[in-house]
Amino acid sequence: MSEITCKCGHVNPEGTELCLSCGRALTTDAEEKKTSDVMRYEGMARRSQTYNGSIIDKVWNFFSSVKVGVWLIVITLSASALGTIFPQVLFISPLEAPEVYYEERYGVAGEIYYILGFHDLYNSWWYLLLIAAIGTSIIIASLDRVIPLYKALKHQRVNRHASFMKRQRIYTEYPLYSSDTFSKIKDGLRNKRYRIREEDGNLLAEKGRFSRWGPYVNHTGLIIFLIGAMLRFVPGMYVDEVMWIREGETMAIPGTDQEYFLKSEGFTVETYDADEDKEVFGATIDRVGAIAKNFQTDAILLKREDGVAGDSSNLVEVEEHPIRVNQPFKFDNFALYQVDFRQGEFRSMSFNLVQKESGDSFGPFEIDLTQPEDEYQLDDDHRVELMGYYPDFSGFENGEPQSPSPVPNNPAFLFKLFSPEHPDGEVAFIAIQQNLEPLGENDYQLSFNGVETRDVSGLTVRKDLTLWILALGGAIFMIGVVQGAYWNHRRVWVKRTEEGGMLVSGHTNKNWFGLRKDLEAAFTNTGLEQPKDQHEQNLNKVSAGGAKEEENRDTTS
Amino acid sequence: MNNRKKKRLIVRITILSVLIAAVVYTLYSTLTEDERMIVKAGDQAPDFVLTDLNGETHRLSDYKGQGVFLNFWGTWCKPCEKEMPYMENQYQAFKDQGVQILAVNVGESEFQVKNFAKKYNLSFPIVRDSQKDVMYSYAIGPLPTTLLINPEGEVVEVVKSGMDEETVASYMEMIKP
């Protein structure tokens, strides 16, 4: 481990570019670099670049590199862009199998898209690794820079070497040093709210140092944000479930650890009325038809006071509350959102037993589809036995009625009809618009008498305990941005030379115009010309005009 | 100097390990998201109480000391229908050896379940979970799902597909006290 001893005698750690004491450039490399680049981190050694021994150091140095960080961001952005070419798996119909869907629709490109995991980008392992690498890069690169920077600014000396002064962008050498001028400059800068340090007739005036921490505050906010996003995976922090509930039903609410139940008192859809809301909606209703006004589920929340799953004897009513779009029902960190509905699901059907020949009708009887009964007694002589119920009738297979789902989309029934003429019963199969008499012609038939329907509410159950962390991260992020963007770190050095002259130089991380204005104010009473901006002079030489006044390209935030 | 270097190494290792741990945890959680919430092998089976078709209540914890073959099913589900007779056969073989079957029907009417049981002559207890309460507590996804619970009340295996008769038998053998 070698150290660098400066001409002034100060011992600097390896990798240092500008002597920590006097500010001399320590290497020819540093001497040739642009001043703004050297000054970005005050010429401090970035620790990453100085130790490269073990594998740990190599990993550390990899992530410490800003170049690597930028590439990681570029790659992540490109991947995100590619992920928008075909729809994400979330948005394709749940009935489609993704492994087939992409290939069938988009050919080879779709297949590659699927295999590489672009179809579910945010859950792809490699995308998550990229995000993790960016997070790591932010943490390590920041640590590697903010610590030396903090130390350098904290320990900076008032008296700098002439070569340090000379290479600053604002620099002028005055032939004569007088304590009068010196104190005028000092007072002028103090009036501009610079913090003044003085040593043997030398001066360091500084303001807005805290703006240098902006990027690191910003990064802290980002990291907090990432932590918040990560916490979603911790059980109990985040719930996102879907539940369907029919009018009148009481169901367990998923994701609540079997604690809460919901009863639906009813679902309503309202539309704007062409007469009532004529002023606002009249024209639009004429043009496009009905406009939805409200989707609402009237719900009652129940809580299981005690007991295990399946035991609903101890449900206590907690609260009655409507659930409307964008107006969720909130309770105990949970929120129920109205997101979907299905109207007109069959709830019950009723029939009459009719003798075909005479037209005599018996009944009606009603079948509640949620709890059909074995037998319906119509009068002393006539009864109907229910032999089979197929809620989602799709056809026959080996003579047997099929129902591929438990949802009553297309209810069908197998009946046995008992009458005085047929004490052993006649078999009838009834579905919507379908009447079969599988065992031969019957004397009796069932005639459809009516149907009752009900609506089904689709609700999202959401719990997110990470929101405040995300908000906090976002707020800190913005504070960092503001801190770094609206303030600048300005410094002015005044040095008395051994020959009795005076050197004045200035540096700022951005907004050189502001620094020049400060200097102008500080120098008005001195009778001296204000220190010159060498960069601007060069520009003037080149373009021979003042058009580049605002050229402040080399910012060093 | 050596001391400083050592300290630096320790600091770096610490920070990197924290980061790696966070990344591994996140990756693991994401990639196993579907599986994560479900009751897994090794977990204590959540207790529940449900009523069967004869009006008798069955509480899982009352079966401690016996193996429980816990099957979630629906009448409309083909693979469920297929494995029911196998379960019935093996139930006859294993019920005297301390293996109990509890078949939990999810959300269907008593009529349908009774009809189904009659059709296949099922003699093991069939309970109905009409509010999907027990289904949520086990985070059951597609049907059929079968959990094998040993006499200590611990889940030995979660089977998320239909089974043939041999498999049913071997699973029952597995949870025999």
Q: What is the pLDDT of residues A129-179, one digit of tens each?
A: 999 999 999 999 999 899 989 988 998 889 888 888 988 999 999 998 888
Q: Which of residues 472-511 of A touch B (CB under 8 A)?
A: none
In this complex, the residue of B49, B76, B108 whose CB is nearest that of residue A308 is B49
Q: Which of residues 206-245 of A touch B (CB under 8 A)?
A: 230, 233, 235
Q: How confident is the model at residue A557 (pLDDT cuts 50, 70, 90)?
A: very low
Mean pLDDT in residue range A266-286? 81
Distance CA B73, CA B144 (A): 5
Is A507 a residue whose pLDDT tops 90? yes
Which residue spans within B35-177 are E strands per DSSP?
49-51, 57-59, 67-73, 99-106, 126-129, 145-149, 155-159
Q: Which of A75, A204, A46, A205 is nearest to A134 (CA)?
A: A75
CATH superfamily of B37-174: Glutaredoxin (3.40.30.10)
Q: List all residues 6 or more positions away from B113 whose beta carbon is below 8 Å from its beta carbon.
A: B53, B75, B105, B126, B128
Q: How far is B44 from chain A (nearest CA, A)?
A: 14
Instruction: Tell me the CA end-to-end span of chain A in Å, nearest whole number.
Output: 31
The complex scores an ipTM of: 0.82
For A459-471, write each residue's pLDDT tens digit.
999 999 999 999 9
> Any CB–CB contact under 8 A between B64 and chain A?
no
User: Per the CB < 8 Å rule, is A233 touching B30?
Assistant: yes
Q: Which of residues 114-173 of B touch A (CB under 8 A)?
A: 114-115, 127, 129, 131-134, 136-137
User: Per the CB < 8 Å rule, is A389 touching B109?
Assistant: yes
Measured at the CA of A140, the angle between CA A28 and CA A70, to 5 degrees, comes to 75
Distance CA A388, CA A390 (A): 7
> Is residue A320 within 8 Å of A249, Cβ to Cβ?
no
User: Per the CB < 8 Å rule, is A56 touching B129?
Assistant: no
User: Per the CB < 8 Å rule, is A1 touching B26?
Assistant: no
Question: Mean pLDDT, chain A, as a whole number?
Answer: 86
Chain B residues touching A139 at Cβ < 8 A: 15, 19
Residues in chain B where the model's pLDDT stays below 50: none
In this complex, the residue of B16, B22, B29 whose CB is nearest that of residue A59 is B16
pLDDT at A218: 95
Q: How far is B93 from chain A (nearest CA, A)?
A: 29
Mean pLDDT in residue range A70-92? 93
Query: Is 3.30.310 the CATH classification of the domain at A162-215+471-543?
Result: yes
Q: How confident is the model at residue A298 (pLDDT cuts 50, 70, 90)?
A: very high
> Any CB–CB contact under 8 A between A4 and chain B?
no
Distance CA B37, CA A255 (A): 10
Unique residue bearing structure tokens 């438990």:
A406
Interface test with B, best of A308, A348, A367 (most B CBs within 10 A): A308
User: Per the CB < 8 Å rule, is B110 touching A371?
Assistant: yes
Q: Which of B79, B60, B75 is nearest to B150 (CA)?
A: B60
CB atoms within 10 A of CB A65: 18
The full set of domain ranges for chain A reads 1-33, 43-154, 162-215+471-543, 238-343+458-464, 346-452
A-B contacts (CB, under 8 Å): 120
Is A335 a residue whose pLDDT tops 60? yes
> Is residue A208 within 8 Å of A167, Cβ to Cβ?
no
User: Per the CB < 8 Å rule, is B131 touching A261?
Assistant: yes
Chain B residues touching A140 at Cβ < 8 A: 15
